[in-house]
């Protein structure tokens, strides 16, 4: 059989694709004995299996023809109404018409990239930032410019405008960021809004972790600070189940019109059955009680992880203390590579994600993202000991670069 010359027919976008190193590492997750500090996986204990069983059974009995049918691209009106009610109860004044349901927030990021980015278009993001977003920006031809210190946002924007590369948007994860675990202060949020208004920029607020706060004070969403300019992306992945692949976009109607058309060619509509389940789950008032249990579980895991870090980590290592979310971010002394640490920990069946993949400029080789939501408590201490021993070994056997 003759082979096709694939390279000659691939699109330019396909040639820009970058596979996720994290997903390769996670391919090992099925190994029974693996301790994973790797993915952003919710803990399966938080999945409300019994409630979902009951809802599925009811839907199939009462409304099989609508819940198993195609649905509107905008999403199930009941679900959109439930979400709008929830935002309104939190002081964000929106209606169902301000919301489009997506096949998870990853699709929401991709649809935003699809409607905004031309080849070589600039956008501004944090340094580090979520790799799945970078993947999408790169695929659609975008050129992300990372800002390490939020105080430099304005000077970065000014420089880009002077170079004729005005950013199409600012991509931000204000609450418990992936990968850093860091939360933007009120002053930093006000600064993003100020800069966006001053230089007429759109903001994409990616908000998958916002409801998972374990300490500290809740701060306003960027959306609540500017409903015209901010596009908020939400998801059920971290608070209900990632298996549903359900997310949403809140934006002004002009933007949503474009998103809907972009979504039609992607998948026509998000899973109608899953939307019906989620709508009923919210409507029955089950979401908040499960969220409270989830927060309790993760708060305990965060405490345990931080305690173990304090107890076992070498003095030269630093890490963030997240107020919520699923991650903390660890920094080795400059010159040491987390990839070298990973080689050692994988021998001991411990996985984490080297931080470098989250840096759009290739920096961050001495950083790592550590997830604390997934591993069982008894494996957290064991995993931190393995990690600390591997770090000590790399530090003591690698020549000092400074
Ligand atoms: C910041 C951020 N955005 C988006 C996503 C994608 O989530 P999902 O597609 O499951 O909604 C993730 C997943 O971990 C994330 O961390």
The reply to whether ligand 1 has any atom less than 6 angstroms from the CB of 275 is no
Q: Of 258, 286, 314, which one is at a domain's C-terminal end? A: 286
CA 106 to ligand 1: nearest atom: 9
Ligand 1 centre distance from Cα of residue 209 (Å): 9
- Domains in the chain, number: 2
- Average the pLDDT over 326-350 and give the result: 96
Q: Are residues 163 and 206 in the same domain?
A: yes
The reply to whether ligand 1 has any atom less than 6 angstroms from the CB of 128 is no
Residue of 23, 47, 105 best suited for mutating to test ligand 1, as the one with most atoms within 8 Å of CB: 105
Q: Are residues 42 and 172 in the same domain?
A: no
Q: 389 pLDDT band (50/70/90 cuts)?
A: very high
- Kindly report the CATH number assigned to the domain that includes residue 392: 3.90.1150.10
- Average the pLDDT over 80-90 and give the result: 96
Q: Of 240, 261, 286, which one is at a domain's C-terminal end? A: 286
- Kindly report the CATH number assigned to the domain that includes residue 198: 3.40.640.10
Q: Of 264, 286, 308, which one is at a domain's C-terminal end? A: 286
Residue 55 covered by a domain: no
Q: Are residues 227 and 341 in the same domain?
A: no
393 is in which domain, residue-wise?
A: 6-47+289-397
Residue nearest to atom 9 of ligand 1 (CA): 106
Q: Are residues 262 and 243 in the same domain?
A: yes
The reply to whether ligand 1 has any atom less than 6 angstroms from the CB of 106 is yes
Residue 307, pLDDT score? 98
Q: Are residues 306 and 200 in the same domain?
A: no
Residue 258 covered by a domain: yes
Residue 134 covered by a domain: yes
pLDDT of 263 higher than 60: yes
The reply to whether ligand 1 has any atom less than 6 angstroms from the CB of 354 is no
Ligand 1 centre distance from Cα of residue 283 (Å): 24
The percentage of the chain sitting over the pLDDT mark of 90, rounded to a whole number, equals 90
Residue 37 covered by a domain: yes
Residue of 101, 174, 235 best suited for mutating to test ligand 1, as the one with most atoms within 8 Å of CB: 235
Ligand 1 centre distance from Cα of residue 208 (Å): 6
Residue 193 covered by a domain: yes
Q: Are residues 229 and 319 in the same domain?
A: no
The percentage of the chain sitting over the pLDDT mark of 70, rounded to a whole number, equals 98
Q: Are residues 216 and 344 in the same domain?
A: no
CA 237 to ligand 1: nearest atom: 10
- Dist CA 389 CA 378 (whole Å): 18
Q: Are residues 26 and 66 in the same domain?
A: no
Q: Are residues 167 and 307 in the same domain?
A: no
The reply to whether ligand 1 has any atom less than 6 angstroms from the CB of 130 is yes
Residue 249 covered by a domain: yes
- Average the pLDDT over 193-204 and give the result: 98
Residue 28, pLDDT score? 58
Q: Are residues 102 and 128 in the same domain?
A: yes
Residue 57 covered by a domain: no
The reply to whether ligand 1 has any atom less than 6 angstroms from the CB of 175 is no
Q: 1 pLDDT band (50/70/90 cuts)?
A: confident
Residue 1 covered by a domain: no
Ligand 1 centre distance from Cα of residue 106 (Å): 6
The reply to whether ligand 1 has any atom less than 6 angstroms from the CB of 326 is no
Q: Are residues 82 and 176 in the same domain?
A: yes
- Dist CA 118 CA 349 (whole Å): 42
The reply to whether ligand 1 has any atom less than 6 angstroms from the CB of 242 is yes
> Among 8-12, 219-223, 349-353, whose mean pLDDT is lowest?
8-12
pLDDT of 104 higher than 90: yes
Q: Are residues 272 and 374 in the same domain?
A: no
- Dist CA 183 CA 193 (whole Å): 16
What pTM was estimated for this model as a whole?
0.96
Residue 351, pLDDT score? 95
pLDDT of 219 higher than 90: yes
pLDDT of 29 higher than 60: no
């Amino acid at each position: 059989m003759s082979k096709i010359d694939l390279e000659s027919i691939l699109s330019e976008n396909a040639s820009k694709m970058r596979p996720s190193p994290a997903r390769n590492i996670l391919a090992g997750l099925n190994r029974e004995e693996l301790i994973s500090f790797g993915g952003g996986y919710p803990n399966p204990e938080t999945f409300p299996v019994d409630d979902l069983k009951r809802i599925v059974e009811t839907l199939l009995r009462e409304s099989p023809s609508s819940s198993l049918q195609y649905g509107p691209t905008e999403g199930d009106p009941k679900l959109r109404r439930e979400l709008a009610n929830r935002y309104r109860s939190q002081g964000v004044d929106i209606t169902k018409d301000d919301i489009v349901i997506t096949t998870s927030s990853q699709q929401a990021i991709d649809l935003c990239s699809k409607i905004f980015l031309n080849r070589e278009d600039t956008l501004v993001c944090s340094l580090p930032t979520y790799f799945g977003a970078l993947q999408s920006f790169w695929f659609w031809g975008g050129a992300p410019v990372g800002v390490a210190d939020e105080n430099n946002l304005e000077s970065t924007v000014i420089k880009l405008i002077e170079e004729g590369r005005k950013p199409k948007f600012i991509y931000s994860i204000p609450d418990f960021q992936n990968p850093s675990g860091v939360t933007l202060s009120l002053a930093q949020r006000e600064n993003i809004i100020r800069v966006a208004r001053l230089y007429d920029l759109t903001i994409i607020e990616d908000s998958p972790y916002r409801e998972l706060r374990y300490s500290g004070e809740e701060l306003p969403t960027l959306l609540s600070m500017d409903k015209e300019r901010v596009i908020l992306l939400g998801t059920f992945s971290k608070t209900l189940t990632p298996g549903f692949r359900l997310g949403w976009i809140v934006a002004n109607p002009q933007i949503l019109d474009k998103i809907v058309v972009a979504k039609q060619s992607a998948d026509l509509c998000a899973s109608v059955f899953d939307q019906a389940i989620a709508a009923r789950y919210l409507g029955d008032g089950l979401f908040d009680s499960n969220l409270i249990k989830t927060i309790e579980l993760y708060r305990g895991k965060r405490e345990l992880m931080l305690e173990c870090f304090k107890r076992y980590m070498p003095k030269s290592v630093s890490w963030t203390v997240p107020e919520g979310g699923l991650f903390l971010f660890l920094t080795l002394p400059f010159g040491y590579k987390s990839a070298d640490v990973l080689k050692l920990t994988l021998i001991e069946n411990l996985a984490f994600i080297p931080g470098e993949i989250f840096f759009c400029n290739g920096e961050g080789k001495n950083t790592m993202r550590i997830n604390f939501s997934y591993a069982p408590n008894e494996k957290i201490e064991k995993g931190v000991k393995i990690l600390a021993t591997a770090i000590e070994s790399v530090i003591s056997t690698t020549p000092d670069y400074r």
